[in-house]
């Protein structure tokens, strides 16, 4: 149990937000929800969740997270489709990180695909 604030900054606790998705007690209903939960998985170091929510066609063979990199802020800039009745969606976001080497951010336009009721991360391109 954890009453800490969810890393995706939804305003909910981790347990009531992305934590439910990480433990498998709920599934993402929208592409944005999946994107937020994947960001939070980076923040809490849940590699298994990241791999499980990666589309089989683009999933990396292995995934190593940098333990020195702290993800501290997520801005969802825009969404397109990705709703409960869509089979694809696009989420543009900027995620901010810092490490002993310095601070930075990742601005990405991600594509998501829904199969059998489950959203998957497909791929992304760098945002403008």
Which positions lie near Zn ion, rule CB under 5 A? 6, 8, 10, 17-18, 36, 40
The CA dihedral of 78, 34, 118, 87, to the nearest 10 degrees, is 10
In the complex with Zn ion, the residue whose CB is nearer, 32 or 92, is 32
- Taking the complex as a whole, the smallest distance from the CB of residue 24 to Zn ion amounts, in Å, to 15
In the complex with Zn ion, the residue whose CB is nearer, 24 or 100, is 24
As to burial, measured by CB atoms within 10 angstroms (0-12 exposed, 13-18 middle, 19+ buried), residue 43 is buried
Q: Measure the CA angle with vertex 117, ends 121 and 25; round to 5°.
A: 85
- Taking the complex as a whole, the smallest distance from the CB of residue 34 to Zn ion amounts, in Å, to 11
As to burial, measured by CB atoms within 10 angstroms (0-12 exposed, 13-18 middle, 19+ buried), residue 21 is buried
- Taking the complex as a whole, the smallest distance from the CB of residue 53 to Zn ion amounts, in Å, to 14
In the complex with Zn ion, the residue whose CB is nearer, 36 or 97, is 36
- Taking the complex as a whole, the smallest distance from the CB of residue 63 to Zn ion amounts, in Å, to 20
In the complex with Zn ion, the residue whose CB is nearer, 5 or 125, is 5
Strands (E), 9-128: 70-81, 88-99, 102-115, 118-126
């Amino acid at each position: 149990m954890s009453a800490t604030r969810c890393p995706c900054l939804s305003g909910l606790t981790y347990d009531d937000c992305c934590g439910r998705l990480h433990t498998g007690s709920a599934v993402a209903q929208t592409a944005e929800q999946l994107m937020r939960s994947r960001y939070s998985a980076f923040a809490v170091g849940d590699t298994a969740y990241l791999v499980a929510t990666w589309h089989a066609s683009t999933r990396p063979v292995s995934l190593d997270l940098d333990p020195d990199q702290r993800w501290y802020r997520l801005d969802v800039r825009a969404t397109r489709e990705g709703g409960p009745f869509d089979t694809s969606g696009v989420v543009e976001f900027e995620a901010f990180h810092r490490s002993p080497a310095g601070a930075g951010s990742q601005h990405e336009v991600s594509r998501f695909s829904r199969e059998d009721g489950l959203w998957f991360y497909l791929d992304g391109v760098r945002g403008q």
